[in-house]
């Protein structure tokens, strides 16, 4: 879990709401209280919009409709979902498949995701996702997409953009430890040490940026005689259970969120991708 530590400006307002399977906190400073409240409300509506479009759990979401229908023919999708799918496929190509949003069927089998109704046999990979020029998406084979490893970061970015447009001078959006912030006051981000939860590893002070952390030890569970986790090596469809804490610092939370997965799977192989995307990673050992 990442914790932003910064002195608040005058007229600071903090609110939290449950979205995206976690608690989303928004802190905004520097405007009159009424203006801050209105800006935060709009930011939460942006987060709620992403939740409604990209939830694997909600059968009426745009993503669920895509999972049901896109293998049979092109499905029109809105700009938000298309942008996230485009970024996901780009990362899959850059990481040689170490990031792949089509591992949902594996996570369903391990109990991390619910069993969808009318689920086709999922046999495809990210290469089977085609983004047509007319705004439609189709799958060349049946597959199941889960955007849990990237949509939360996109929602944070969208909320930050909303706060900026409202003229908020300083703000931070924190979705369960995936966060982005900006302002004149530098922030020190604390990352919990997996080997000693009472200790925090402090990152250098930053006035703006995005940070996301993945820690397998917090989410792994025993499945029969083996350990599983929601972090899947897509190339082998095997759980990653021995990684420590991976924190990625990037310019956007979408990329910070998504890059924690390939870094945890193979940090050396992910290094060129981090450089290309102007990101960096901090690895802490497993307990």
HSE-CB at 124 with a 13 A cutoff on CA atoms is: 20
Structural domain boundaries in the chain: 57-139, 186-287
* pLDDT given for residue 3 in this prediction: 57
φ, ψ for residue 55 (rounded to 5)? -75, 130
* pLDDT given for residue 145 in this prediction: 96
* pLDDT given for residue 9 in this prediction: 52
Distance CA 24, CA 26 (A): 7
Predicted confidence (pLDDT) per residue in 16-72, tens digit: 999 999 999 999 999 999 999 999 999 999 999 999 999 999 999 999 999 999 999
Q: Could you say which of 3.30.470.20, 3.40.50.720, 2.60.450.10, 3.10.520.10 is the CATH number of the domain covering 186-287?
A: 3.10.520.10
Cα torsion through 33, 14, 180, 165, rounded to 10: -20
| CATH code that applies to domain 57-139 | 1.10.3980.10
* pLDDT given for residue 214 in this prediction: 85
Low-confidence ranges of the chain (pLDDT < 70): 1-10, 118-121, 216-220, 222-225, 243, 287
């Amino acid at each position: 879990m990442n914790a932003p530590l910064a002195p608040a400006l005058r007229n600071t307002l903090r609110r939290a709401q449950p979205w995206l399977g976690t608690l989303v906190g928004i802190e905004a400073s520097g405007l009159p209280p009424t203006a801050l409240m209105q800006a935060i409300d709009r930011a939460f509506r942006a987060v709620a919009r992403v939740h409604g479009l990209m939830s694997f759990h909600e059968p009426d979401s745009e993503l669920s409709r895509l999972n049901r229908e896109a293998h049979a023919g092109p499905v029109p999708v809105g700009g938000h979902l298309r942008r996230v799918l485009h970024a996901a496929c780009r990362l899959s190509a850059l990481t040689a498949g170490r990031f792949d949003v089509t591992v949902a069927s594996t996570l369903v089998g391990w109990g991390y995701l619910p069993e969808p109704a009318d689920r086709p046999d999922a046999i495809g990979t990210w290469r089977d996702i085609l983004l047509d020029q007319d705004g439609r998406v189709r799958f060349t084979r049946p597959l199941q997409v889960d955007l849990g490893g990237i949509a939360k970061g996109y929602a944070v970015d969208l909320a930050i953009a909303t706060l900026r447009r409202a003229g908020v001078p300083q703000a931070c959006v924190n979705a369960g430890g995936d966060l982005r912030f900006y302002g004149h006051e530098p922030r020190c981000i604390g990352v919990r040490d997996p080997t000693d939860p009472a200790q925090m590893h402090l990152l250098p002070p930053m006035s703006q940026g995005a940070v996301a952390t993945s820690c397998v030890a917090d989410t792994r569970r025993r499945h029969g005689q083996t350990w599983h986790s929601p972090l899947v090596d897509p190339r082998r469809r095997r759980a990653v259970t021995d990684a420590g804490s991976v924190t990625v610092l990037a310019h956007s939370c979408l990329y910070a969120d998504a890059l924690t997965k390939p870094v945890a799977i193979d940090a050396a192989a992910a290094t060129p991708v981090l450089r290309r995307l102007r990101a960096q990673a901090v690895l802490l050992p497993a307990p």
